[in-house]
Chain A
């Protein structure tokens, strides 16, 4: 049945055994859904969802030149990132587009990067084309589990030796978890409080089984992962982020801290800093969709007779019970637009993101 050889995460056997529906994603055979997308989505918002995100690339960056190199490849303040802190950022292209979005965490021995599974090869080519002085990269063979939702801290705490209650949002802790050396980070892709746990591959199945056996926990596949991030207003690389969409266009100004806006010195800085000064030609916006017909990625957007952009992501929000979408629209377009779905015009309204307010743990000072 497999035309191409799909890679498997260390949890493949567990997923197969649980009856999950597996689909090809990012070169891996990944669970699309376990019990059903809406049920998994709701369980994450109300209690805790468990995700296998081991397809994502985990890279250790070490060496005296690591921070300076990361500041050339990203527009973020990496030098000023405190140990144990994580930051969401992007790898920019020389023309100001995005190679990938990622999390950078500063650890005592260097930096940990988590990149998209579907972008592993693109990231590898990009870093090879932009080498740094005194920098070593090591692609890790580790599992990555995410536990997301209001019950996540309580559930995970009993499996971790370190104290999670004191761990701030966007902070990470090297500790023992599930009997193995783990990196536990308080962040995620759902808008909920939650954690990502990086584990040695051999510890992954035991960890998954222990968490899945908890009555507060529901295994969640890629389907609900997408609806959760859409409600939370978060970008998906390949749809909302591309090599020809800039971080400013994608609504990610916040990844460019003040010092970097002044100093520049990153790939694509000319374009990106000009966009910050003058405004981008296009902007990613939230779209509220009138009626019940979902508006999906690729649907053209119009303002009257004028083409003003494209829907980059869209679907039905399980929380709101109505369709929502992101669009990339030209500067100067109004708020009342129409999307074309199967030859018909569907009214959509530009609306602030996120669609569902975040429930992440309040930032606390370390």
Chain B
């Protein structure tokens, strides 16, 4: 099941590996994305670490680790074509796969309905 953070990231858990990206709402707020700085595979992450940077025409924005874990893969496709994040933020525009230290922690994150309400409340 897809989960969301209040930093506007999404996670999709398969086993103990979460695919992570920024939400469609986030890409819309950022505008035209021109470059994504991805983490190195093997990097250990603590929840809240800035693990990627999204450069839009406007500004540079950090992307934070949603939970503790280790980067096991990054999406080379968005390195070649950063616009993919604008076009398909929650599918092909994923950022990294993170092997979570504690996969059960995902359950505490927002589900789609809660995230939608969160965006509306903060909008």
Chain A interfacial positions (CB closer than 8 Å to B): 32-33, 36-38, 223, 227, 292-294, 296, 315-316, 318, 342
Distance between Cα atoms of A294 and B36 in the complex (Å)? 11
Is B31 interfacial (CB 8 A cutoff)? yes
Contact of B57 among A38, A293, A342 (CB under 8 A): A38
Identify 12 new A-B residue pairs, CB closer than 8 A, beyond the known A316-B34, A316-B35.
Answer: A37-B32, A37-B57, A38-B32, A227-B57, A293-B35, A294-B34, A296-B59, A315-B58, A316-B55, A316-B57, A318-B57, A342-B53
Instruction: Please state if A37 and B58 are interface contacts (CB–CB under 8 Å).
Output: yes
Distance between Cα atoms of A223 and B35 in the complex (Å)? 17
Distance between Cα atoms of A294 and B53 in the complex (Å)? 11
Is B105 interfacial (CB 8 A cutoff)? no
* Chain B residues closer than 8 Å to A33, beta-carbon distance: 31
Instruction: Please state if A292 and B57 are interface contacts (CB–CB under 8 Å).
Output: no
* Chain B residues closer than 8 Å to A296, beta-carbon distance: 59-60
* Chain A residues closer than 8 Å to B59, beta-carbon distance: 296
Distance between Cα atoms of A318 and B33 in the complex (Å)? 11
Is B37 interfacial (CB 8 A cutoff)? yes
If over half of B's interface residues share one DSSP class (helix, strand or loop), that class is named, otherwise mixed; here it is strand
Distance between Cα atoms of A307 and B99 in the complex (Å)? 41
Distance between Cα atoms of A36 and B27 in the complex (Å)? 12
Q: Which chain A residue shows the least CB distance to B32?
A: A38
A-B pair count, CB < 8 Å, reads 34
Distance between Cα atoms of A38 and B56 in the complex (Å)? 10
Among the interface residues A33, A227, A315, which one has the most CB atoms of the partner chain B within 10 A?
A: A315
Q: Which chain A residue shows the least CB distance to B57?
A: A37
* Chain A residues closer than 8 Å to B57, beta-carbon distance: 37-38, 223, 227, 315-316, 318
* Chain A residues closer than 8 Å to B53, beta-carbon distance: 342
Instruction: Please state if A36 and B31 are interface contacts (CB–CB under 8 Å).
Output: yes
Distance between Cα atoms of A38 and B57 in the complex (Å)? 8
* Chain B residues closer than 8 Å to A318, beta-carbon distance: 57
Distance between Cα atoms of A32 and B32 in the complex (Å)? 13
Instruction: Please state if B58 and A294 are interface contacts (CB–CB under 8 Å).
Output: no
Known: A223-B57, A293-B55. A36 touches B32 (CB 8 A): yes
* Chain B residues closer than 8 Å to A37, beta-carbon distance: 31-32, 57-58
Chain B: minimal CB distance from A324 (Å):
12
Instruction: Please state if B60 and A294 are interface contacts (CB–CB under 8 Å).
Output: yes
Chain B: minimal CB distance from A185 (Å):
28
* Chain B residues closer than 8 Å to A38, beta-carbon distance: 32, 57
Q: Which chain A residue shows the least CB distance to B50?
A: A342
Q: What are 18 A-B contacts defined by CB distance under 8 Å?
A: A36-B32, A37-B32, A37-B57, A38-B32, A38-B57, A223-B31, A223-B57, A292-B34, A293-B35, A293-B37, A293-B55, A294-B35, A296-B59, A296-B60, A316-B55, A316-B57, A318-B57, A342-B53
